[in-house]
Amino acid sequence: MAVGTEGSILGNAVVRREDPTLLQGSELYLDDIAAEGTVHIHFVRSTIAHATIAELDLSDAEGMPGVIGVYAANNTEFPDMPFAFGHPAFGRPLFAKERVRQVGDIVAAVVAETREQAADAAEMVFVDYDELPVVLDMEAAGAPDAELLFPDAETNVCFHTELGEGSAIEGADRVLELKIESQRLAGVPIEPNGTLAIPCEDSMMVWAPSQNPQAIAGQLSQLVGIELPELRVATPKAMGGGFGSKAGLYPETVIVTLLAKTLGTPVKWAETRSENMVSMFQGRAMILDAKMGFTADGTITGLDVHVVADCGCYPNIGAVLTTFTQTMIQGVYDIPAVRYTADSVVTNTTPIAAYRGAGRPEATQMLERLMDLAAQEFSMDPAEIRRKNFISPDSFPFTTHSGANYDNGEYAMALDRALESAGYADLRAEQAERRASGADKQLGIGVSAYVEVTAPAGLHVEYGKVEITDDGKVVGRVGTSAHGQGHITSFSMIIADHLGVPMEDITILQSDTAEVPKGAGTMGSRSLQTAGSAMYVASEVVFEKAQQLAGHLLEAAPEDIVKADGGLGVAGVPAKSVSWAELYAASMDDAQRPEGMDAGLEHELDFDGSDATFPFGAHVSVVEVDTQTGGVEMLRHIAVDDAGRLLNPLIVTGQQHGGIAQGAAQALFEGIQYDEYGNPVTSNLADYAIPAASEFCSFESENTETPTFRNPLGAKGIGESGTIGSTPAIHNAVLDAIAHLGVRHIDMPLSPSKVWSAING
């Protein structure tokens, strides 16, 4: 059954099933969940970025009203976190042992009867620090004489990767150089982190707003000594965003669960926003130093890149995000030679993990700035030089120097569509007029072309199950964990299309290890192409089994059985049909079931798409820069994204708009900053510049469709495309507006003060 064929719901805009309860506020978030006898935990966090702990006194806190216990490294024997890269010394203790390595490092935990009592008692924990030199500069962190965060490791470099040998730019007619920083960003989901652990007689229930409860359960089980399935991990139905920051296991969750086990009572931690800004994993934080070689006519001959990535104080998945950058380092371009090296280092800052795009935006940001600089160098239009160097459509499938197996791509098609929608020629004409007149407000037009990887790094496998229940309704189980993406709607559409069951009669179960014991979670724009394909295949198998059963019951050939109102019937004979409830009953009855047919109407599988998919697209940004103030205003943003076959265009548009907003935020507004002592100076939403919707223009999103052959839906991911395509387009637009004033490059975010200083430099 092809997606979008005549009579199919697939490919049509369908309103999201999830929205009514969210809008009504009837769904529970983590902190809304209550358990009788719950006590509350408050973490005592370091106020110093790097120091040894000279003295830690818990006694005054232990005597405070309502306090049940105060815990730290000196009175517990809790295990260390198991996830580290490089030398074993880089491992993370649950409580700081002898040394703290960031403002926000966990020193102690106070458990009390109320949240307020725990917070008050935490103020009474006495900590005396002997300060150490602070390591903040990621480039300086890897130097031989740098202060070591982990002396036993004898280095601050925790991970290294490289690709190619020698020089990739030797023999080039011209070489362009660019050093670009993709600044540190905070995930800032609307719902911060948290955990509620509820001990039962022989088991433990753990609620956590997680993108991957199955993985959390596996790691947590080992750390707290409770075997699966006695340890149950679930995410509440409502979860306020993740963006990668909620994909991993946090030490706070381990501590809460261990203390619930120790005390025998429910323990809750609900993170505050100020905690969130120093303790939740952050993203990006890379410096890319690149050289690109060209022939005299503007054809790329080679690319040589060195990356330094900041992992924060404890290496997490952030240490290996440089491999994702490496995977996409070639982008959409036919580059004959590539050399890539990357070092990940530890610094006295919040740990880095995946953040929407996770290593792939950084590669695109670098490439697209280089292409704009090349356009200036060769006096070519930015679109022309890109088109000249694209990988041609007849080259696919295409294996890059990094080993990425691009499935297909029509890069010029997406770019041409974006330029046409933008009215590119007219915009360039208006820009020329403003430049000629010396207007204070200059027009900038930025172009970006991108390809990204979705379902990367082995994430192309996912669990799914579809079953008919005794009342004739359907239950689908998936190993992904939705938190705003519209999975319930999308998966229901697939099942409804195959079985003819109304969407309101379909229940999708997810995010609970008691219901779905395995799964790879939601990340890497993977859900539709993996879990959606699992729903597709499982529904297909259930339908074929039901066809055979209905044919047996109705004395018709299985191929003559078609979907009928509320069940299956014989084609052309409306009166001859059987309901899904009757089919289920027959499937459980040995006397009614055909010989050799298994009982029940269900199918489960681990769908394997065999490899990642590679969405692509092109964005055009139009901005106005006030040369007197440095202020930037977004006038238009046009996105043409290709995510393969589209299942629900309404959901696709929502993902595009959300991604563009986050990409624009990096380009113009957001960035974590520290003072010279390692104190975060953007530790609340008064100082960290999250833009409001009023600061954006209205986004114009379109799609081309180039179906992949790696899954039956033909679908690729869309969740991160907007974030990857928009940032370099906006970055290029701002710099394009002031390029005639001699400005070559400004690192993001492009704040008014930075832009003004560059103009007047």
Residues 324 and 417 in one domain: yes
Task: Examine residue 4 and state whether it is found in any structural domain, yes or no.
Answer: no
Q: Tell me whether residue 162 is in a domain.
A: no
The continuous run of DSSP H or E covering 170 comes out as none
Average pLDDT score over residue span 13-33: 95
Question: What is the number of structural domains in the chain?
Answer: 3
- C-alpha angle 127/129/132, rounded to 5°? 155
Domain boundary among 580, 608, 636: 608
Same domain as 498, residue 641:
no
For 528, the domain range is 19-26+461-608
Q: Please report which confidence band the pLDDT of residue 86 belongs to, taking 50, 70 and 90 as the band edges.
A: confident
Quote the percentage of the chain above a pLDDT of 70: 99
pLDDT in tens, 461-519: 999 999 999 999 999 999 999 999 999 999 999 999 999 999 999 999 999 999 999 99
670-711: pLDDT as tens digits: 999 999 999 999 999 999 999 999 999 999 999 999 999 999
Q: pTM for this one?
A: 0.97
DSSP-derived letter for residue 528 is: I
What's the mean pLDDT when you consider all of the chain?
A: 97
Residues 67 and 201 both lie in one domain? yes
- Note whether 737 and 588 are same-domain residues: no
What's 270's DSSP letter? E
Indicate the DSSP class of residue 690.
Answer: P
* Continuous segment of H or E residues that includes residue 649: helix 649-668
pLDDT at 7 over 90: no
Query: Whole-angstrom Cα distance, residue 209 to residue 235?
Result: 5
Residue 696 is assigned to a structural domain of this protein: yes
Task: Judge whether residue 6 has pLDDT over 70.
Answer: no
pLDDT in tens, 516-545: 999 999 999 999 999 999 999 999 999 999
Same-domain pairing of 451 and 515 = no
* Domain of residue 466, CATH code: 3.30.365.10
| Residue 142 resides in a domain | no
Q: Are residues 424 and 484 in the same domain?
A: no
Q: What pLDDT digit, counting tens, does each position of 397-410 carry?
A: 999 999 999 999 99
Give the domain CATH number at 42. Answer: 3.90.1170.50
Per-residue pLDDT for 284 more than 70? yes
Radius of gyration from C-alpha coordinates of the chain: 28
Name the pLDDT band for 761 (thresholds 50, 70, 90). confident
Give 1's pLDDT tier (boundaries 50, 70, 90). very low
Chain segment 50-67, per-residue pLDDT in tens: 999 999 999 999 999 999
User: Do residue 69 and residue 206 come from a single domain?
Assistant: yes
Same domain, 451 and 482: no
13-27 average pLDDT score: 94
Cα gap 74→532, rounded to integer Å? 48
pLDDT at 87: 87
Which carries the bigger pLDDT value, residue 5 or residue 726? 726
Q: Are residues 428 and 506 in the same domain?
A: no
Domain assignment present for 11: no
Query: What is the spatial distance between Cα 46 and Cα 131, in angstroms, rounded to a whole number?
Result: 12
**Residue where a domain terminates, one of 270, 296, 318:** 270
Q: Are 199 and 185 in contact (CB under 8 A)?
A: no
Helix, coil or strand: residue 613:
strand
In a domain, 393, yes or no: yes
CA 263, CA 254: separation in Å to the nearest integer? 14
> What percent of the chain shows pLDDT beyond 90?
98
pLDDT digit string, tens, across residues 552-579: 999 999 999 999 999 999 999 988 999 9
Contacts of range 398-402, beta carbons closer than 8 Å, 24 or more positions apart: 400/327, 400/330, 400/338, 401/163, 401/164, 401/329, 401/330, 401/335, 401/337, 401/338, 402/163, 402/326, 402/327, 402/328, 402/329, 402/330, 402/338, 402/340
The DSSP symbol for 524 reads: T
Name, in order, each residue with C-beta under 8 angstroms of 195's C-beta and a sequence gap of 6 or more: 30, 206, 207, 208, 250, 252, 253, 256, 257, 268, 269
Q: Strand (E) positions, 32-156?
A: 39-45, 51-57, 67-72, 99-100, 106-112, 126-131
Residue 670 lies in a domain: yes
What's the pLDDT score for residue 82?
80
Say whether both 585 and 715 belong to one domain: no
Sign of CA dihedral 18, 21, 24, 25: negative
Give yes or no for a contact between 87 and 158, defined as CB atoms under 8 angstroms apart.
yes
Domain co-membership, 626 together with 506: no
- The more confident residue out of 311 and 86 is 311
The verdict on 375 and 423 lying in the same domain is yes
* Secondary structure of residue 706 in the 3-state scheme: coil
In this prediction, residue 5 carries a pLDDT of 60
Domain final residue, candidates 270, 297, 324 = 270
User: What pLDDT is stored for residue 85 in this prediction?
Assistant: 78
- C-alpha to C-alpha distances, 481 to 60, 241, 487, 653, nearest whole angstrom: 43, 11, 8, 20
